[in-house]
Structure 1
Amino acid sequence: MNVTVFGGSGQIGRFVVTDLLAAGHQVTAYVRNPAKLGIDDPGLTAVTGELSDAERIRQAVHGADAVISALGPSLKRGAKGTPITEGTRNIAAAMAAEDVSRYIGLATPSVPDERDQPTLKAKILPVMAKAMFPNALAELVGMTEAVTKSGLNWTIARITRPTNGKPKGTVRAGFLGRDKVGSAMTRPDIAAFLVAQLTDDTFSKAAPAISN
């Protein structure tokens, strides 16, 4: 497949790119600074641009079979604005214009899925997120709505506590109050889950919470 990756130079995005290349996919990585990718592979094309550049994003999406976004908001307390939300809207618009339907991205359980059941965790997480990271939560809500209301064939993996370290190779995926899903998950395992969704429709138009 030809896969366009956004956020490919980030902590999860790098694993997404390397996993895709290892699987034989052709990868277009849309990044601000290609040097931060640190990957030299004939299957990789880097496109330099900002998330605010709608035309440049469309160029990166052109010819893709799917898009994987490893973008996430800043967790800095003083962060302002919604650049990731606006960027995700540009991505969704570019995909629609280029007739690319498959979108795979990230969010957190602080943004509910309609399949979640009422639980204490489901109630507490949004309250904590709003108190501790109000701008980040606004970004996550905006990002999610930009995709779920777009008409794309989307899957959004909701992560709670990404960790460093070697992959464990175990995945729990499901919905709050319905399935046994924990909190921690290694970044390599998160990336592997995202890549696996290219050929798995189990969570089409759904936002499962995932963990190890």
Structure 2
Amino acid sequence: MKQEIKIAVLGGGGRTGKYLVNKLIARGFQIKLLLRKPEEFQIKSSLIEIIKGDAINPEDISNLVQGCQAVISTVGQRPGEPLVASRTVTNVLEAMNKSGINRFISLAGINIDTPFDKKGKETSLATEWMKANFPEIQADRQKAYSILSASELNWTFVRVPFIEFSESSGELAVNLEDCPGNKICAGNIADFLVAQLTDETYFRKSPFIANV
């Protein structure tokens, strides 16, 4: 059934993003995709509109969100390229405010810290490993959370552990204080992200999700 609302998607050409796009199509959502290389994107649907551009370019984000009612991002750091997390969030929030859009859903890693966390040993070790081995990327992602948490929009920052690139597998657990498992399927991530379009439970919150 075709949905009345249109979703702006960043990172839809990535490994997790493709699962998200397929889930949105299956549920009849209209989609605007921001892609750096549209010619390489293989998913075809009349529900998809493609915008060529880059998430770190404010004008491209502005073009993307026009006519949309919500934004979902699965953008990840590209090896050897400029830091993307905080710039993307800044650009998205600015464009959303200008366009009157209030719902933003973003994917992140378990290494992001929030004031509400009570991370257990495994989650804490993973966080410290990221800080030690990729300090600039970690700091940029943490900055993205800080920018987002200061926003008055209805955002959800979904934190995930190691991603297995397969369809849904097993039960999904959600926890606001600590990651409930050490892996998650990309299909489960996509299902959860799509569900947030109509669920207010995690407005302005940063849930951990994992397969158990």
Aligned to 2:148: 147
1:82-121 per-position Cα deviation (integer Å, ceiling 9, x unaligned):
2332122111110111110100011122112333225334
Aligned to 2:30: 26
Deviation of 1:81 (Å): 4.0
Aligned to 2:193: 194
1:110-150 per-position Cα deviation (integer Å, ceiling 9, x unaligned):
11233322533453232111112222212211222232222
**Structure 2: which amino acid aligns with 1:38?**
Q
Q: Answer with 108-117 or 15-24: which moved more.
A: 108-117
Deviation of 1:169 (Å): 5.3
C-alpha distance in structure 2 between counterparts of 1:84 and 1:149, whole Å? 15
- What are the within-5 Å matches in structure 2 for residues 1-212 of structure 1? 1-74=5-78, 76=79, 79=80, 81-117=82-118, 119-168=120-169, 170-177=171-178, 181-212=180-211
Do the aligned residues in 2 keep the contact of 1:112 with 1:122 (CA within 8 Å)? no
1:44-99 per-position Cα deviation (integer Å, ceiling 9, x unaligned):
0000012232122111101111000011224x5xx464233212211111011111
Do the aligned residues in 2 keep the contact of 1:162 with 1:184 (CA within 8 Å)? yes
Question: Match of 2:15, SS?
Answer: coil
Do the aligned residues in 2 keep the contact of 1:51 with 1:87 (CA within 8 Å)? yes
Do the aligned residues in 2 keep the contact of 1:8 with 1:37 (CA within 8 Å)? no
Instruction: Give percent identity, aligned residues only.
Output: 28
C-alpha distance in structure 2 between counterparts of 1:105 and 1:198, whole Å? 12
Do the aligned residues in 2 keep the contact of 1:167 with 1:187 (CA within 8 Å)? yes
Deviation of 1:153 (Å): 0.5
Do the aligned residues in 2 keep the contact of 1:73 with 1:140 (CA within 8 Å)? no
Q: Answer with 164-173 or 45-54: which moved more.
A: 164-173
Q: TM-score, normalised by structure 1?
A: 0.90
Question: Match of 2:184, SS?
Answer: strand
Question: Match of 2:33, SS?
Answer: strand
Q: TM-score, normalised by structure 2?
A: 0.90
C-alpha distance in structure 2 between counterparts of 1:42 and 1:199, whole Å? 23
Q: Answer with 64-73 or 141-150: which moved more.
A: 141-150
| Structure 1 pair 164–42 and aligned structure 2 pair: CA distance change class (3 A) | same
**Structure 2: which amino acid aligns with 1:23?**
R
C-alpha distance in structure 2 between counterparts of 1:174 and 1:97, whole Å? 33
Deviation of 1:154 (Å): 0.5
Deviation of 1:23 (Å): 0.5
| Root-mean-square deviation (Å) | 1.8
